[in-house]
């Protein structure tokens, strides 16, 4: 099979971080599908360690115990129903696949896991034994050495010998089982710590053509470009460039945003923040409010990369897990509950999802900036957007949009033929007169011409 099928141009995915399966299913039907989201990245579905003594931290899930689909988010049938429900709503499911390692040397080094399986580090009965793990049993210490990064232990997590046939076939078995249930793609966790040829071998044996994007944080020893033969790679440089620039208010500098030099637009998965950066190295997150939405809306309006919208649970302590029952099972998620932030529902974000798909195929046109904190650009005859991190802005813009009355998708949507937000006129010459408040966005596209 061919290595990886990217989503169609203009597609947008949401990362429903730690959402339980029943809740993801409901959100696919109620909001994600109807609002044009094409895919969802879900948290790891496989059996994982259970750390009751530490209050069930979110990162339990990154320590696999077996490939049974039985986690804090639900069991195999919950998972399978979610995939079917989301697919019916037109939403693909992308699974966060932990392939590099099994469990670590943390607070528990033995079972049972979330599905009840017994284990010890380096011994997972019926799945892996001692000889399936890398010879190096020490933490990676020299981050200039690619061999160490790939063949020693990340965070003391038991490192799989992904070069071995037995390990490869177990991993392809897991991924093909997911594909069989209707899963359309994978985020490959810790891909930088797996030799690219091993991932290539594993992915080439998958059924169909799943979309693959790989978690590779560029450093001096390893370039994301080593992985582009297998699928996309996460573009952390784009995230820093976008988030840092929007936070500092110097939007004019985004004109040529292109992220990691070694990645082209069609090789890059882009985002404002992810579940790690929002905890360890936050630049802009939901906690920043409007400027965060400006950044996400810009990412969606601008044609670079395959965008991923973060959807978080609210947290103070970076270790803490989502709301859970006393047995550690995650409580249902929904956007009426303030524990679940639902960035993906914010109007300037949700409205720009359809903007991106309507604009697909058109490059950036009619760029304008004030040299500083206000920019605007079009997507040919299909869309035009304004981003303002400065003072309230009133001016006329030259666009390439056809004449008409448009509903601003950053402030509302069209319901029963009427705009719930602001409407704007484009005159016969494509000119738009608009007022855009500080820290807000304006988004017009031909799909919401009234
Ligand atoms: C990733 N991408 O490449 C994930 O995005 C990231 O969230 C994962 O780390 C990491 N790779 C490994 O899959 C998280 C979390 C770590 C946590 C690990 C494993 O950020 O803090 O490590 O999951 O659960 C924890 C402890 C760490 C301990 C380790 C092993 O924080 O101190 O190491 O477990 O017991 C001794
Ligand atoms: Ca490895």
Question: Average of pLDDT values for 347-362?
Answer: 98
Do 210 and 216 meet the contact criterion of CB atoms below 8 Å apart?
Answer: no
Q: What is the CATH number of the domain that holds 177?
A: 3.20.20.80
Spatial separation of the C-alpha atoms in residues 85 and 108, rounded to whole Å:
36
pLDDT tens-digit readout, 181-234: 999 999 999 999 999 999 999 999 999 999 999 999 999 999 999 999 999 999
Last residue of a domain, one of 339, 359, 379: 359
pLDDT tens-digit readout, 257-293: 999 999 999 999 999 999 999 999 999 999 999 999 9
Nearest ligand 1 atom to the CA of 49 is 24
Spatial separation of the C-alpha atoms in residues 400 and 384, rounded to whole Å:
8
Asked if the model's pLDDT at residue 1 lies above 60, the reply is: no
Given pLDDT bands bounded at 50, 70 and 90, which one contains residue 303?
very high
Residue-number span of the structural domain to which 198 is assigned: 13-359
Shared-domain flag, residues 394 and 355: no
Cβ(63) – ligand 1 distance below 6 Å: yes
- Note whether residue 6 is domain-resident: no
- Note whether residue 390 is domain-resident: yes
Q: Which of 189, 198, 226, 354 is catalytic?
A: 189
φ, ψ for residue 258 (rounded to 5)? Answer: -145, 10
* Ordered alpha helix ranges (H), 256-395: 277-280, 290-301, 347-359
- State both tokens at 323: 């709301």
Mutual orientation of helices 196-204 and 165-180 as an angle, nearest 10°?
A: 50
Q: Is 183 exposed, middle or buried (0-12, 13-18, 19+ CB in 10 A)?
A: buried
Nearest ligand 1 atom to the CA of 155 is 33
Ligand 1 site-directed mutation target among 47, 56, 62, most atoms within 8 Å of CB: 62
Asked if the model's pLDDT at residue 2 lies above 70, the reply is: no
What spacing in Å lies between the alpha carbon of 62 and ligand 1's midpoint? 6
- Note whether residue 409 is domain-resident: yes
Spatial separation of the C-alpha atoms in residues 4 and 311, rounded to whole Å:
25
- Note whether residue 260 is domain-resident: yes
Spatial separation of the C-alpha atoms in residues 83 and 42, rounded to whole Å:
10
φ, ψ for residue 351 (rounded to 5)? Answer: -65, -30
Q: Answer yes or no: is the ipTM higher than 0.95.
A: yes
Asked if the model's pLDDT at residue 426 lies above 60, the reply is: yes
Shared-domain flag, residues 250 and 288: yes
Cβ(155) – ligand 1 distance below 6 Å: yes
- Note whether residue 290 is domain-resident: yes
What spacing in Å lies between the alpha carbon of 367 and ligand 1's midpoint? 42
Shared-domain flag, residues 273 and 350: yes
Contacts (Cβ under 8 Å, ≥6 apart) of 415? none
Question: Average of pLDDT values for 385-401?
Answer: 98
Shared-domain flag, residues 53 and 104: yes
Ligand 1 site-directed mutation target among 59, 72, 236, most atoms within 8 Å of CB: 59
Question: Average of pLDDT values for 1-27?
Answer: 88
Nearest ligand 1 atom to the CA of 215 is 3
Shared-domain flag, residues 335 and 392: no
Pairing relation of β-strands 393-398 and 418-419? unpaired
Asked if the model's pLDDT at residue 36 lies above 80, the reply is: yes
Shared-domain flag, residues 254 and 325: yes
Q: What is the CATH number of the domain that holds 385?
A: 2.60.40.1180
Q: Taking the model in full, what pTM does it have?
A: 0.97
Question: Average of pLDDT values for 390-415?
Answer: 98
Res 7: pLDDT: 85
Asked if the model's pLDDT at residue 178 lies above 90, the reply is: yes
Q: Which ligand is nearest to the CA of 319?
A: 1
Last residue of a domain, one of 336, 359, 382: 359
* Catalytic-residue membership of 159: no
Last residue of a domain, one of 304, 325, 359: 359
- Note whether residue 152 is domain-resident: yes
Q: Which ligand is nearest to the CA of 103?
A: 1
Res 384: pLDDT: 98
Shared-domain flag, residues 395 and 444: yes
Shared-domain flag, residues 89 and 190: yes
Mean pLDDT of the chain: 97
Angle at 204 between CA 21 and CA 267, to 5 degrees: 75
- Count helices and strands (H / E) in the chain: 9, 18
Shared-domain flag, residues 270 and 416: no
Given pLDDT bands bounded at 50, 70 and 90, which one contains residue 346?
very high
Cβ(217) – ligand 1 distance below 6 Å: no
Contacts (Cβ under 8 Å, ≥6 apart) of 277? 236, 239, 283
pLDDT tens-digit readout, 103-161: 998 767 777 999 999 999 999 999 999 999 999 999 999 999 999 999 999 999 999 99
Number of structural domains the chain divides into: 2
Shared-domain flag, residues 387 and 254: no
Cβ(62) – ligand 1 distance below 6 Å: yes
DSSP structure class, residue 224: G
Spatial separation of the C-alpha atoms in residues 74 and 81, rounded to whole Å:
11
Q: Which of 27, 47, 153, 215 is catalytic?
A: 215
Asked if the model's pLDDT at residue 421 lies above 50, the reply is: yes
- Note whether residue 393 is domain-resident: yes
Do 4 and 230 meet the contact criterion of CB atoms below 8 Å apart?
Answer: yes
Given pLDDT bands bounded at 50, 70 and 90, which one contains residue 4?
low
Res 111: pLDDT: 79
Res 203: pLDDT: 97
Nearest alpha carbon, ligand 1 atom 7 = 276
pLDDT tens-digit readout, 67-115: 999 999 999 999 999 999 999 999 999 999 999 999 998 767 777 999 9
Shared-domain flag, residues 343 and 279: yes
Res 333: pLDDT: 98
Asked if the model's pLDDT at residue 3 lies above 90, the reply is: no
Given pLDDT bands bounded at 50, 70 and 90, which one contains residue 6?
confident
Which of 28, 27, 25, 5 lies closest to 90, judged by CA? 28
Which of 416, 347, 315, 340 lies closest to 26, judged by CA? 340
φ, ψ for residue 161 (rounded to 5)? Answer: -80, 80
Percent of the chain with pLDDT over 70: 98
Do 6 and 264 meet the contact criterion of CB atoms below 8 Å apart?
Answer: no
* Catalytic-residue membership of 92: no
Spatial separation of the C-alpha atoms in residues 276 and 106, rounded to whole Å:
19
Shared-domain flag, residues 322 and 440: no
- Note whether residue 4 is domain-resident: no
């Amino acid at each position: 099979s061919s290595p990886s099928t990217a989503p169609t141009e203009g597609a947008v995915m949401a990362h429903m971080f730690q959402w339980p399966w029943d809740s993801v299913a409901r959100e696919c039907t109620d909001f994600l599908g109807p609002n044009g989201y094409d895919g969802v990245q879900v948290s790891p579905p496989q059996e994982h360690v259970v750390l009751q003594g530490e209050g069930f931290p979110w990162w339990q899930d990154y320590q696999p115990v077996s490939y049974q689909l039985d986690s804090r988010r639900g069991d195999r049938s919950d998972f399978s129903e979610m995939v079917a429900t989301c697919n019916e709503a037109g939403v693909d499911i992308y699974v966060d696949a932990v392939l590099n390692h099994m469990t670590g040397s943390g607070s528990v080094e033995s079972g049972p896991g979330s599905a009840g399986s017994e284990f010890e580090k380096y011994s997972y009965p019926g799945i892996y034994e001692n000889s399936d793990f890398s010879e190096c049993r020490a933490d990676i210490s020299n981050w200039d050495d690619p061999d160490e990064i790939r063949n020693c232990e990340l965070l003391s997590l038991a490192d799989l010998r992904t070069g071995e046939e037995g390990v490869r076939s177990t991993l392809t078995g897991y991924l093909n089982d997911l594909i069989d249930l209707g899963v359309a793609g994978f985020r490959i966790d810790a891909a930088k710590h797996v030799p690219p040829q091993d991932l290539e071998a594993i992915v080439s044996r998958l059924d169909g053509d799943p979309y693959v994007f790989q978690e590779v944080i560029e450093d001096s020893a390893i370039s994301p470009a080593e992985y582009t033969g297998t699928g996309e790679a996460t573009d952390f440089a784009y995230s820093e460039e976008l988030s840092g620039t929007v936070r500092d208010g110097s939007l004019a500098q985004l004109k040529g945003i292109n992220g990691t030099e070694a990645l082209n637009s069609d090789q890059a998965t882009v985002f404002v923040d992810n579940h790690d950066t929002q905890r360890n190295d936050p630049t802009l997150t939901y906690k920043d409010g409007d400027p965060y939405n400006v950044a996400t809306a810009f990412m969606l309006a601008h044609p670079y990369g395959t965008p991923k919208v973060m959807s978080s649970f609210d947290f103070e302590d970076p270790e803490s897990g989502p709301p859970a029952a006393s047995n550690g099972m995650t409580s249902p998620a929904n956007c009426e509950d303030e524990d679940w932030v639902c960035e993906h529902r914010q109007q300037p974000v949700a409205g720009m999802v359809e903007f991106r798909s309507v604009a697909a195929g058109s490059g950036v046109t009619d760029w304008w900036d004030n040299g500083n904190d206000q920019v605007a650009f079009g997507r040919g005859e299909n869309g035009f957007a304004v981003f303002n991190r400065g003072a309230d802005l009133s001016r006329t813009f030259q666009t390439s949009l056809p004449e008409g009355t448009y509903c601003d998708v950053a402030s509302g949507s069209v319901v029963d033929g009427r705009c719930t937000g602001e409407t704007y006129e484009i005159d016969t010459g494509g000119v738009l007169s608009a007022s855009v408040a500080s820290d807000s966005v304006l988004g017009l596209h031909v799909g919401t011409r009234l």
